[in-house]
Structure 1
Amino acid sequence: MAININNLQNTTQVKNDKVEQNVQRQQAAVQQNATQNANQKQDSVSITPQAQQFSKLTEKASNSSGIDQEKVDKIKQAISEGKYKINVEQLARRIVQFESELFGKK
């Protein structure tokens, strides 16, 4: 059986050409994907001014104690000076209302 040596070199060259073509195709696909990704918009989030204000107010409320210290100081001063007057009718009405709510009676 005879072996054609010239034909072996051509076969190797054909294989190398096919490999090089595949590599070029893959590089072109990678470059195309990179271009598409660059053209796509990035996700973004924007917060409205109302939401920003709400966030600031929420933070301020959570940091506060819930006590109006200025009002407390005024009442303390009025009591110490004997100027603080108690509305007994309003106080009695609110005590009755509180007890009704507490015990479920109306």
Structure 2
Amino acid sequence: MANLEHAINNYKPQSELYVQYFLNQYSDRVQLQFVSALYHGRTHLGQTSFCIEGEHPAQVGTLNADHISKNEYARLISEKGNNVVTYLNTFRECAYNSDFDINNL
């Protein structure tokens, strides 16, 4: 089964309709992880690891996206346009530098 890393590697900014098609290729869990990774990346812009106010990589999880309805994912992602790639790259960089396996998000 495709995991978060696969989803991040294959994402291309497109319309909301395309984003929904893209998301439908992944399990509910990976969709939640993707949205969560997006928000973690946005939160950590300009940083190279997960370390905000004593944050530890073991505390990085999906709580930042748990409250978002699945049927809102495509709209939220498409609204962020090209920034999605930037956020996901930041997430990956912080994860790598924090020895955090992104598929465990």
Return the TM-score normalized by structure 1.
0.20
Q: Which has the higher helix share?
A: 1
Q: Which has the larger radius of gyration?
A: 1
Higher RCO, 1 vs 2 (CA within 8 Å, ≥6 residues apart): 2
Return the TM-score normalized by structure 2.
0.20
